[in-house]
Amino acid sequence: MDFKLKFGEVVKTTVPIVILLFVLYILLLKPDISNIFFFLVCCILVIIGFTLFLRGVDIGIMPMGVAIGSQMPKRNSILFIIGVIIVISFTITIAEPDVNVFTWMVADLYPTVNQTALVLAIATGVAVFLVIAALRILKHISLRLLLTIGYLVIIILAILTPDTFMGIAFDSGGVTTGPMTIPVLIALGLGICSVVASRSDLDSFGMVGLASIGPVITVLVYGLLIDTSTTANMASDAIIASESTINIGGSILGEMFEDTIDVFSAVLPLYAIFAIFQKFFLKYSWRDFRIMTIGILMASFGMIIFLTGIYAAFMPVSKNLGIYLINNDCNLVVLAIGIILGFLVMISEPAVNILGSQVENASQGMFSKKLITIIMAVGVSAFVGAGMYLLSLGAMSIYYILPIYGIAIILLWIMDKSLIGITYDAGGVATGPVSVAIIMTMYIGMASAKYTGPDAIINGFGIIAMIALAPIISLSILGVAIRVVKCRKQYKESS
C-alpha cells in the first residue's frame, strides 16, 4: 500500500515536468520517431526509479540514520561524535556521483586543478561543518550566529577569489548535497535531537544548510591557492559539447552501467558503516538488518533507474534546448521556460520530497509538506527565470550572487527562529539531480552558445548557487511573516 501511495505522489510531481520537456522537445528540436520513443521510455524509468528510491529511503536509510544519530550522544564522548561524523561525511561526499562529475568537469577546464585535491577540499568542507552542526545541537550554539559567520566568510573570500573560479566555488555547495546524502544528514540531526534534553525535532534541521556552506569556503580557498588565469580549452565547447543525437538502446544500457557503478560506489561504503554500527553499537536483530538491507538496495536500484532516465534523455534534451533558445534569440520564451521549469523541477526533486515529509512530521503538521514545497518552488521559479533571462540578454553576472547572500543574512536575523533550520536545509536539498540535469545543463548550453572563451566558463557556472539561495530567500520571507504575526498576537494579548 505504501508503494502504491509513493507511486501516486511521484506521478503527480514528475508528470508536469515530463510533459513540459516533451512539448518543448517536439516543438523546438523536432526529433524523429525513434528519439521520441527513447525519450518516453526514459520518462517511465524516471517515474519508476523515483518511486523505488523514496520507498527505499523510508525503509532502510532514514531509520538507520536516526538510530546512529540517537546513539552518538549516548556515548558521552565528543571525540566519538566527531569521528563518526567525519567518517560518514567523507564517505558520502567522496563517493557522491554529482561531486565526481562536477570535479571532473572543473579539472578538465583548468589544468592547474587536481581533481583529487578538489574532491578532498569539498569533503573537508562538508566534514568540518557537519561536526559544527552536530556540536551546535549538543551545545545549544546559535544557528543564526553560525550561518551568519559562514556567509560572511563566503562573501569575503568570494571578493578575493578570481571571478573565473567564483561560480565553481558557489556551485560546489550544491552538488555535495545529493539524494543519497540528504536522508542521512536529516536523519542524523533527528537522532541527535531525540536524546538531547530540551531539543525539539525542529532543532534537528540546519545540518544540510551548514554542510552546504563548508565546500563553498574550502573551494574558494582552493581557488586562491592555484592559478586560475588559464583554462585548458578557451572555446565555448570547453563547457559543453556541441549538439548530439540521442541514440536509442545503447544509450540506456551504457548509462545504466555507469550509474550502477556510481551509485554502488556511494552506497557500499555507507552500507558498511551502517552494518558496523548495527553490529557493535545498536545490536539490532537479524530481521532489522535484513530490512535495512532491503531498503538500501531498493533505494540504490531506484536511484540507478532514475538517473539513467535523467542522464540519458533529460540532460541531452535540456542541453540542446538551451543552445536552440540562444541561437534563435528567444529571450521572452527563455524567461517563460525558466519560470515554469524552476517551479516544476523543484516539486520533482527527490530530496525536496524527503525534506517536506520530515518537516511535516517534525512540526506536527504546523508546516505541511505541500506548503514548504510550493514556497520553495516559487522562489526557485523566480530565480531561475531571472537568471536565464539575464543570461539570454548577456546581462548576467556571477557578482549578483553576493548581494543575495547579504539579503539572506539580513532576513536571517529578523525571521522567526523556528523556521531557520528548515529554511537553510531547503537551500541544500533544492540542488539535486533533477536541477543539475535539467536546469544547470540548459543554462550551461545557453552560456556556451552566448559566449566564447573565459566568458563562457565564467557565465556557465553559478545557477546551482542561485537555485540553492532561492528557497532560502522565499522561506525567510515566510519566517518574517510568521514573526510579524506572533508579535501582533503578543501585542494584542498584552494590551
Our measurement of the distance from residue 155's CA atom to the centroid of its chain's CA atoms, rounded to an integer in Å, reads: 21
Question: What are residue 314's phi and psi, to 5 degrees?
Answer: -65, -40
The Cα 464–Cα 219 span in angstroms is: 15
pTM, to two decimals: 0.80
Give the C-alpha distances (Å, rounded to integers) separating 39 from 23, 249, 256, 259, 291: 11, 11, 15, 18, 34
| Domain locations along the chain | 11-494
The Cα 161–Cα 284 span in angstroms is: 49
The Cα 4–Cα 11 span in angstroms is: 11
The one-letter amino acid code at 460 reads: G
DSSP 380-396: HHHHHHHHHHHHHHT--
Our measurement of the distance from residue 234's CA atom to the centroid of its chain's CA atoms, rounded to an integer in Å, reads: 29
The per-residue pLDDT string of the chain (495 residues; one tens digit each, 9 = 90 and over) reads 477 777 887 787 788 888 888 999 999 988 889 889 999 999 999 889 888 887 887 888 778 777 777 777 677 777 877 888 888 878 777 766 667 667 777 776 677 788 888 888 998 998 898 888 888 877 788 889 999 999 999 999 999 988 878 888 888 887 777 666 776 776 677 667 665 655 555 666 778 888 889 999 999 999 888 876 665 554 444 344 434 444 545 568 888 888 888 788 778 887 888 888 777 777 667 777 888 889 889 988 988 898 888 888 888 888 889 989 998 888 889 999 999 989 988 887 777 877 787 788 777 777 888 888 899 999 999 999 999 999 888 888 888 888 999 999 999 999 988 888 889 888 888 887 777 778 888 888 888 888 876 777 777 778 888 888 999 999 999 989 988 888 888 877 776
The Cα 377–Cα 355 span in angstroms is: 13
Give the C-alpha distances (Å, rounded to integers) separating 123 from 116, 173, 194, 298: 10, 10, 27, 26
Do 22 and 43 meet the contact criterion of CB atoms below 8 Å apart? yes
H runs (alpha helix) in 310-400: 315-327, 331-348, 350-362, 369-393
Residue 111 confidence (pLDDT): 75
- Spell out the residues 6+ positions from residue 145 whose beta carbon is closer than 8 angstroms to its own: none
Give the C-alpha distances (Å, rounded to integers) separating 467 from 352, 381, 428, 464: 13, 9, 9, 5
Do 342 and 377 meet the contact criterion of CB atoms below 8 Å apart? yes
The one-letter amino acid code at 30 reads: K
